[in-house]
Amino acid sequence: MAKITAKMVAELRGKTGAGMMDCKKALTETDGNLDEAIDYLRKKGLSAAAKKSGRVAAEGAIVAAGSDNVGAIVEVNAETDFVAKNDAFQGFANGIAQVVVAEAPADVEALKQLPFPGTDRNVGEELTHQIATIGENMDIRRFARRSVEGVVETYIHAGGKIGVVVELTTAAPSDCVKAAARQLAMHIAAAAPQYLCRDDVPVEVVEKEKDIMRVKAIESGKPEKIVEKIIAGQINKFFGEICLLEQTYVIDPDLKINKVLANLSKENGAEVTLTGYDRFALGEGIEKRADDFAAEVASLTK
C-alpha cells in the first residue's frame, strides 16, 4: 500500500476540485495512482465541481441562525433560484449558519476550515461535495455574526432574498426588547439604511451630497446668501434617509427610530441601545450574466 502524502492529495484536489477528504479516500482506494484516483472521483461525481466553478452564482438564499444574544446571517449563492429552494441546498446553508454562530470564524476562508455538522468534511469540502451532488456552482459569499450583552435578533424576508441581524445592547434583556428587536430588523429589511448614525457617514459622502445640493440651489436661482441655510436643511433630510437612527419607523410613521429606542428604554426599565446591524440583499454587487438564448440555440445548430 502506497503512502498517501499531503502533496499527492493537494495535486489531486488541484486537478479535480474535489474535497480534501474525498481526494485522500480516492488515493487510498487506488493505491496512490493519480490517474485512477481521478477516474474514481469522476465515477463518484466528485470531480464535477471543478468544471462548474467558473459559472456565475448570483441566486441562492440568505439564512439565519442564533438565539438570545448571538445571531448570524449567511449568504450562500447558487446559479438558479430553483436550486436555492432545494432541500439539500437549504440544509447546507442552514448548517453553515449554525457553524458561524457556534464558532465565530474570522472570515469565509476561516469558516471553510471548520467541521461541517454531521459529516467528516470541513465546510469547504462540504461545499465542493454539494456542488458535485446538486450540479450547480455554489459559493459561500459572506456572513455577519453579532453577539452582545442584550438581545440579537435575525429576520429573513421574501424567502431568503433579504436577511438582517440586529443587536440591542441592554443590561436588562426582556421579552419587550426581544419583540422590539424583531420589529427593528423588519424595519431595516424594508428601509435599507446605509449607516447606523450620521457619525458613521464618511466625510467625502457628506461633502459630495452638499456639492450637489449647492449646485442645484444656485442653478434654481436661489440667492447665494441663503444657499448654505438650504443645504443645512436638506442635509438633515439626507441623514434621515440613510441613517438608521434618524429614519422614520416603517411600523409607526409618527416616530423616528431614536424615539422608538427611547420609548423602549422606558418600557424596559433600563436603557436599550441599538449598537449595530447588518443587512444582506441576495446577489447585490454580483454581475449576473445576461445570456442571449436565441444566439446560443443558433450556435448549436451550426
Q: Could you tell me the residue ranges of all domains in the chain?
A: 6-52
> Please, what CATH class does the domain formed by 6-52 belong to?
mainly alpha
> Among 26-30, 61-65, 255-259, where is mean pLDDT lowest?
26-30
Q: Where do we find the cell 493519480? A: 34
| pLDDT tops 50 at residue 172 | yes
Percent above pLDDT 90 for the chain: 70
Pairing of strands 273-281, 138-147: unpaired
Phi, psi of 116 (to 5 degrees): -90, 130
pLDDT digits (tens, 9 = 90+) for 20-37: 788 899 899 999 998 888
pLDDT digits (tens, 9 = 90+) for 116-168: 999 999 999 999 999 888 888 899 999 999 999 999 999 999 999 999 999 99
Mean pLDDT, the chain, as a whole number? 89
Give the pLDDT confidence score for residue 37 in this predicted structure.
87
Residue 53: which pLDDT band, with cuts at 50, 70 and 90?
Answer: low
